[in-house]
Amino acid sequence: MSKIILPLEIVDRRNLRYDQNKIENIMEEIQTFLSKHPNLNKIDLMKHMLLSLEIKFNNANEGYYDDIRLIEDVVLDKEDKTKVSYNKRRRIRNLYKGYKYILTNPKINPDNLRELNKILSKNLLTKEELESMGEYYRLGKEYMFSSSDISEEPKELLDASHIERLMGDLFNFIDKSNPESNIEKYIISQIIHFYLVYIHPYYDVNGRTSRTLGIWYLLNNNASEYIIFNRAITLDKQSYYDKIRYAEEYGELTSFLIYMLENLKLELEKESIIQMIEENSKEKISDLDRQTLYSFLSNKSQSTLCDFSNFYARFNDKEKIGEVYTKMIKPLIEKDIFIQGRETQKMINGSMHNFYFGINKNIIDESNISRLSLKRKTL
């Protein structure tokens, strides 16, 4: 049977559903790719990424673009508190502590999910929101803007009277799910991710809680190679929210699942390239090097220093091009990971020309890469 009907309702009493036939090809593509890249299945590697890059991307999906160096400083309590706002430090620390919590593999139930939400929202809620929280969920109304146009009226979210019943359905779904493969576990994790976004049971950090819950489910079910889905959302947030709104309106999850599957495959390809570089490089790769390589692989425009700097600034604190070159590009050129190509006519800071650069093609294998375009990314 192609159409899968889920035991999860939206408020007009329709059950969520998706078309299994339409997602099978991409599911098989991911499984085949992972079978050829067993290093992506290493739990220690995925835990390391969870506590560094994934903090960045989970917060970035809410519009908070923190540099990996800042995240590491905050986690280690080394940041300059006179230059970093309290709320920014709080968001980073909360997510770090939330990830540390789910890494202990607690059972997903109402008490433990509430504990996760308390960790993620610590010192971020207003007094009124705190006073209007029940034992587990919000008791009052909640609104959300559906676009960046602040003149548009915000949308009222699910009425609080439905929350406890639907959350009970979600926990039953989690408990009774019996996936046979890791790719099926990923599908379940994204159904869970969507449904918590739809219910919106809290006053704040619902998005971060839902995506972290998806990761939590994968960790509890030994499918850690799939936890990197947050990255793709950061690069294509409008599509992400469009797919969620469509599923909320029609109860049809197929397009949301296809989006999450296709982007997961792309992220796995990027990660496999970065792993190849780490394995073949004679020098150690830092988390900043990883972030640089990730940004370079994600940028679809031409591969010049200016292109990279402009793209990087979209998802991080802005830095001068000269600083980007000195801190990020030059170290990888010196490690023979990036190869510097021809110069352009454009001058940078009046002292150096803009130039093309790419990954040293001798240290990667492109044979299993199908969705990531490397044609202009290697030299």
pLDDT tens profile 35-74: 999 888 776 766 666 677 788 889 988 888 888 888 888 8
Indicate the pLDDT class of residue 231, thresholds 50, 70 and 90.
confident
pLDDT on residue 186: 98
**Cα(272)–Cα(255) distance, integer angstroms:** 26
The β-bridge partners of 358 are: 339
Weakest mean pLDDT among 108-117, 123-132, 140-149, 203-212: 140-149
Strand boundaries in the chain, DSSP class E:
3-9, 15-19, 143-144, 155-156, 338-348, 352-359
Q: Give yes or no for residue 346 having a pLDDT over 80.
A: yes
Token pair listed for 323: 């600083």
Radius of gyration of the chain (CA): 22
Amino acid in the structure at residue 249: E
- Assigned token pair, 39: 């290093």
Which of 212, 209, 202, 198 is CA-nearest to residue 253? Answer: 198
Read off the pLDDT band of 31 (50, 70, 90): very high
Q: What is the pLDDT of residue 49?
A: 64
Give me the pLDDT at residue 43, please: 67
- What pTM was estimated for this model as a whole? 0.94
Average of per-residue pLDDT values in the chain? 91
**What is the percent of the chain with per-residue pLDDT over 70, rounded to a whole number?**
95
User: Beta-carbon neighbour count of residue 201 at 10 Å?
Assistant: 28
Q: What pLDDT does 53 receive?
A: 79
- Provide the residue ranges of all domains of the chain, joining segments of one domain with +: 3-274, 283-363
* pLDDT higher than 80, residue 363: yes
Give the tokens for residue 141. 């109304």
Q: 3-274 with 283-363: one CATH topology?
A: no
Place of tokens 């979209």: 314
Residue where the block lists tokens 């990923």: 186
Kindly report the CA angle at 8 between 5 and 13, in degrees rounded to 5?
90
CA distance linking residue 235 with residue 237, whole number of Å = 6
Return the structure tokens found at 83: 């230059």
Compute the average pLDDT of residues 238-257. Answer: 95
What would the pLDDT profile of 292-331 be if each residue is shown by its tens digit?
999 999 998 889 999 999 999 998 888 899 999 999 999 9
Question: What's domain 283-363's architecture?
Answer: Orthogonal Bundle (1.10)
Q: Which fold is adopted by the domain 3-274?
A: Fic-like fold (1.10.3290)
**Residue 146 pLDDT:** 58
pLDDT at 144 over 90: no
Regarding predicted confidence, which is higher, 373 or 259?
Answer: 259
Collapse the DSSP code of 179 into the 3-class scheme (helix H, G, I; strand E, B; otherwise coil) and give the result.
coil
> Would you say residue 147 has pLDDT above 80?
no
- Identify the pLDDT of residue 362: 94
pLDDT in tens, 150-196: 566 788 899 999 999 999 999 999 999 999 999 999 999 999 999 99
What span, in angstroms and rounded, lies between the C-alpha atoms of 124 and 122? 5
The pLDDT score that the predictor gives to residue 38 is: 87
Q: What are the angstrom distances between the C-alpha of 36 and each of 148, 231, 270?
A: 42, 22, 14
Length of the chain: 379
Q: Of 198, 210, 209, whose CA–CA distance to 157 is shortest? A: 198
Two structure tokens written together for 214? 């998806």
